[in-house]
């Protein structure tokens, strides 16, 4: 019986020793992969979305249209709730092919964009008119319009910003308690 016990213990030690040798080989492979993964990773930029660059800075790449705005953000300051603000964002096609705006969408229903529907030839100007209705929108506002066109990049954003002062509303409570409506 002791012989069998020693035999089983010996086989277990041999299996353990050989499995350790296999783990060492596996660890070397992992170490090689780890050193390869430690190489600096370059960020991948999405060519379809314009980065926040300074005004008018967009370069044509190849044979494409480029939408260069005079300004991409309009500050309307402070207005009273219920007023409608209108602003026209003008752009120039600085590319080498005609520019066609496919769509212009707003972040909310309070903002309505209208844009140049016909193709804009290279060197010509076009526009995106934006109307913002502040009714029911008190506080800081920044409506944004996303423009999709055959440009490089193909998505460009313009926005308006400002503060909407709330309408004078009847107070709901005062020093005499809640206000009663008849």
What is the pLDDT at residue 181? 62
**CB atoms near residue 122 (< 10 Å):** 15
Structural domain contains residue 104: yes
First to last CA, the chain: 102
What is the pLDDT at residue 41? 55
Structural domain contains residue 45: no
Alpha-carbon distance of 86 to 127, in angstroms, equals 13
- For β-strands 67-69 and 101-106, DSSP reports them as unpaired
What is the pLDDT at residue 63? 78
**CB atoms near residue 179 (< 10 Å):** 10
Structural domain contains residue 29: no
Upstream peptide bond of 114 is cis (omega within 30 degrees of 0): no
What is the pLDDT at residue 17? 64
Total structural domains within the chain: 1
Can you give the residue range of the structural domain that contains 92? 67-165
- Residue 80: phi and psi, rounded to 5, are -85, 145
Tally the residues of the chain.
182
Four-point Cα dihedral 95, 101, 112, 139, nearest 10: -40
Structural domain contains residue 130: yes
What is the pLDDT at residue 9? 77
Structural domain contains residue 159: yes
Structural domain contains residue 40: no
- For β-strands 111-115 and 144-149, DSSP reports them as unpaired
Which residues of the chain fall below pLDDT 70? 1, 5, 16-62, 169-182
Compute the radius of gyration of the chain from its Cα atoms: 32
For the stretch 60-79, pLDDT in tens is: 456 789 999 999 999 999 99
What is the pLDDT at residue 45? 58
Structural domain contains residue 177: no
What is the pLDDT at residue 26? 47
What is the pLDDT at residue 162? 95
Containing H/E element for 143? none
The CATH number of the domain where 80 resides is what? Answer: 2.60.40.10
């Amino acid at each position: 019986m002791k012989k069998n016990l020693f035999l089983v213990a010996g086989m277990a030690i041999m299996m353990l020793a050989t499995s350790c040798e296999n783990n060492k080989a596996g660890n070397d492979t992992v170490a090689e992969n780890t050193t390869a993964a430690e190489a600096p990773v370059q960020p991948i930029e999405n060519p379809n979305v314009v980065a926040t660059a300074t005004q008018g800075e967009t370069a044509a790449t190849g044979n494409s249209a480029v939408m260069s705005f005079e300004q991409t953000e309009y500050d309307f300051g402070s207005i009273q709730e219920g007023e409608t603000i209108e602003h026209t964002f003008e752009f120039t096609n600085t590319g080498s092919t005609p520019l066609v705006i496919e769509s212009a969408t707003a972040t909310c229903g309070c903002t309505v964009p209208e844009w140049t529907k016909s193709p804009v030839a290279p060197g010509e100007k076009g526009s995106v008119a934006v109307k913002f209705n502040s009714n029911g929108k008190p506080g800081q506002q920044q409506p944004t319009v996303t423009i999709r066109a055959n440009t490089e990049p193909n998505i460009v954003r313009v926005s308006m910003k400002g503060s909407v002062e709330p309408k004078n509303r009847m107070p709901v409570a005062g020093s005499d308690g809640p206000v009663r409506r008849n």
